[in-house]
Amino acid sequence: MPKEPRRAALRLLEGVLTEGKLLSEMHPGLAPMAPEDRARTQRLTSDTLRFLPRLDQLLSQHMERLPDLEVLNILRLAALELVQGAAAHGVVNEAVEACSKLPRHGHLKGLVNAVLRRVSEGGEAAWAALPVPEMPEWLREPLIEGWGEEAIEGMEAAHAAGAPLDITPRDPAQAAALAEQLGGTLLPTGSIRLTEPGKISALPGFDEGAWWVQDAAAALPARLLAAQPGERVLDLCAAPGGKTMQLAAAGADVTAVDVSEKRLETVSENLGRTGLTASIIASDALAFTGEAFDAILLDAPCSATGTIRRHPDLPYAKDGSDFAGLFELQEKMIDHALSLLKPGGRLVYCTCSLLPDEGEVQIEEAQVRNPQLTVDPVPEDLPGLEPEWLAEEGGLRLRPDFWAERGGMDGFYMAVLRKPA
């Protein structure tokens, strides 16, 4: 991986758009970079992907047709910097130099120079006049079918706005004081939202384990489960561990299971930092067996389409071809989790997906396969509960366009399934 931010960002764009890799898969390659260069690389790449259709529209105003991907990515990255206020001289010169080094496209450096000069002259006004970027059709079409055009436009606006940083306090009783100390906003659900956090590990309370990073929507499944002190609770597909820590902080006897030993190392580190305890087991969820649990939280593998506001690479690294396999896996995981549950026990099933097939439909079909299975009503006193979150099938449906005035939230579905006594 190149060590200079612009070159590294181009390499990351190539990985996503050409090789179908997720940014998270390539971020370890940035480790040798200085922290400020690494942060800049990640910001440049994420913002370019977040505004990709809009950048292409901007460039199309100055070209008859868009060039091959190698040159186009140089133009996209440079155009992004220009509309964000970077000095044109340095941006344009580096883009021209990057193009001149391409074996097959070096002769297009003059084109790159001319186009970017025109972009810089148009300034922020031309950029502001362009519409909010739309999701790729392979994803947009099924989401419109599920939620309608207006809702999808709201979600796209939330994706373009990006995501603030949410944290979960270890002690909910200290949430208000912690929010004031951090200069954040206490959200109605109990999470704390920070708009300009800076370096996360330097924030007050990090070293003491007073909180951990977790989107406000992702914090709700554990609150819905409402683990009680002394209950034996299984966190199935536990990494990166936010829900494990919530359950442990509630006083439950937690077993955290995940297939990835590497990701479980992060869970262990976070537990150590927060002073919380849980039994950690590396295992395929479908192969895990053990004494029956009082409650289970299953955050099933899914399309992760609810997290695009934080992961703008997802619509470009994926194409929906894995949907059918994910739906089948989720069915198997629900049935296996039920087999690990005590009679009368409760299972929270959740996915960070916007697709009804990974949420509401899974609950309906689980009840068809298990006719005595019931869905617990969402408690009316759940902190921050809003009526529009309630799903007809039971449970909660959260979307990025909710809380728009507060900065949105991840898309999630969650419901409590009750096993017959």
Mean pLDDT of 292-299: 98
Q: Determine which one of 237, 302, 350, 352 is catalytic.
A: 352
Whether the per-residue pLDDT at 2 is higher than 90: the answer is no
Going by their DSSP bridges, the two strands 341-351 and 279-282 should be labelled as unpaired
Helix axes 149-161, 137-147, angle to 10 degrees: 130
Structural domains of the chain, ranges and CATH numbers in brackets = 5-128 (1.10.940.10), 215-418 (3.40.50.150)
Closest CA to 170 of 158, 162, 178: 178
**What 3-state DSSP class applies to 205?**
coil
Whether the per-residue pLDDT at 123 is higher than 80: the answer is no
Residues 247-261 pLDDT 10s? 999 999 999 999 999
Residues 372-410 pLDDT 10s? 999 999 999 999 999 999 999 899 999 999 999 999 999
198: Cα separation from own chain's centroid = 19
Residues 6+ apart with CB under 8 A from 192: 166, 167, 168, 169, 175, 178, 179, 182, 184, 185, 186, 211
Order of all β-strands in the sheet with 185-186: 185-186, 192-194, 165-169, 211-213
Binned at pLDDT 50, 70 and 90, residue 196 comes out as confident
Binned at pLDDT 50, 70 and 90, residue 3 comes out as confident
Binned at pLDDT 50, 70 and 90, residue 353 comes out as very high
Give the per-residue pLDDT at 108.
94
Residue owning tokens 């949420």:
359
Residue pair 249/171 in contact (Cβ under 8 Å)? The answer is: yes
302 is catalytic: no
Residues 313-330 pLDDT 10s? 999 999 999 999 999 999
Q: Which two tokens stand for residue 352?
A: 């960070």
What does the buried/exposed string (b/e) look like for 373-410 if buried means 16 or more CB atoms within 10 Å of the residue's CB? bebbebeeeeeebeeebebebbbbbbbbbbbeeebbbb
Phi (first) and psi of residue 53, to 5 degrees:
-60, -35
Q: What percent of the chain has pLDDT over 70?
A: 100
Give the per-residue pLDDT at 166.
98
Q: Which two tokens stand for residue 214?
A: 């977790």
Whether the per-residue pLDDT at 122 is higher than 90: the answer is no
Give the per-residue pLDDT at 191.
98
Phi (first) and psi of residue 388, to 5 degrees:
-70, -10
